[in-house]
Amino acid sequence: MVTEALLYHDRKLPKIALFAIFLSLFSNFVVFPVRSTETMMLETVADAYVMADGTFCGNESHLIVDAGYGGYASTALVMFNLSHVPMGARVDSIKFEIELDYILFEPIHSGLNCKVLIGSSNWTEAEIGGGSAELFFLGALEILSAEKTWFSWENNATAVLTQIVEDNNHLLTILLKASRYSMLPPGRGFFFSRESGNIPRLTVKFTRDTTPPFFGGMALPQNVTSPNSELAFTIIVDDDTAVKEVNLCYSVDDGSTWNKIPMNSNGVSYNATIPKQNDGTKIVYYFEAFDKANNRAQSTSYSCKVMSKEPPYFLLWMLLPFTIILLTLIYIMRKRKPPK
């Protein structure tokens, strides 16, 4: 559907008309989001533990966690790849699970208190590189038993997790670190690594984005100062996650060819201008928007015609009195005409 409009010099719509147009456009374009929650289980892509002196121990059957009793301190690293979580999805929570094989206790040891931290880094089991940025504390668990069992930590830091999914490398590192001062002295925990077959795992709950962006108010050009003026457009575009791209698409040959102009963003407001056009040019245009999940929305098509000045409606008003007088005289003359 194409909505037509003429662009004239000094032609302005009343405020009430503009408000009515805004309400009509808004009601046509608002889409209520429909979201689906999904669960995905990921297996470790790399794991290792690091000694206090920096010795990196990868490709081992166990991940050793120790807070430093006897100078042994070690921290376990477990990496997951979140690239299978679709772009634009909102990560609602993660649950990290790892299986404890056994704990070495000294006579006065009572357990092992593990801190699970989360960060992003780029490393392999052969070497660690760049460390791991600590983003937030996932949880703590006091291990008082040496029984072989699975342990889990869960967190719902949605904003941080969603940002990791949107990062280019999609890599998530979980650090298993013993608390030195919560248990004195601490135990030494041996957790199964991916090489043992009992692979640590990460369960990700996310909400897939299937809803395209929606258009709100539009400020379309109503005035053209001259045939060679640029036409300015401002629209409101929003999304239930994030808008990635908004374009203004226009044609000056009735849709045979199309030009695309990326619109500049200022919050949810987007603006762009169509280059100068000659007098009498008909412009057909529409807007398209993409979110980070590449859902696409397209507005109604509009058209406008560039004119140098407003048609001389004033001449009609000048001729109206003479037209009324002329019609009156004709009527009187016909009434006075004698019947045959």
For each of the domains in the chain, give its residue range(s) and CATH number, in order of start.
2-33+211-306 (2.60.40.10), 36-208 (2.60.120.230)
pLDDT for 236: 94
Give the pLDDT mean for 316-329. Answer: 74
Residue 317 has a pLDDT of: 64
* Single-letter amino acid, residue 150: W
Q: Region 227-252: what's the mean pLDDT?
A: 88
pTM: 0.64
Integer Cα distance of 149 and 202 in angstroms: 16
pLDDT at 20: 44
pLDDT in tens, 137-160: 666 666 666 677 888 888 776 676
Quick check: 249 pLDDT over 80? Answer: yes
- What pLDDT does residue 209 have? 84
Give the model's pLDDT for residue 18. Answer: 45
Q: What are the C-alpha distances in Å from 158 to residues 62, 91, 116, 166, 204?
A: 31, 5, 17, 12, 11
Scored b (16 or more CB within 10 A) or e, 119-148 reads bbbebebeebeeebeebeebeebebeebee
225-236 tens-digit pLDDT: 566 678 889 999
pLDDT band at 23; cut points 50, 70, 90: very low
Per-residue pLDDT band for 35 (boundaries 50, 70, 90) equals low
Query: Residues 184-212: pLDDT tens digits?
Result: 445 678 899 998 878 899 999 988 888 89
Q: How many CA atoms lie within 13 A of 192 on its CB side?
A: 19
Calculate the average pLDDT of the chain. Answer: 75
Model confidence at 250: pLDDT above 90: yes
Residue-wise pLDDT for 282-303, tens only, equals 889 999 999 988 899 999 998 8
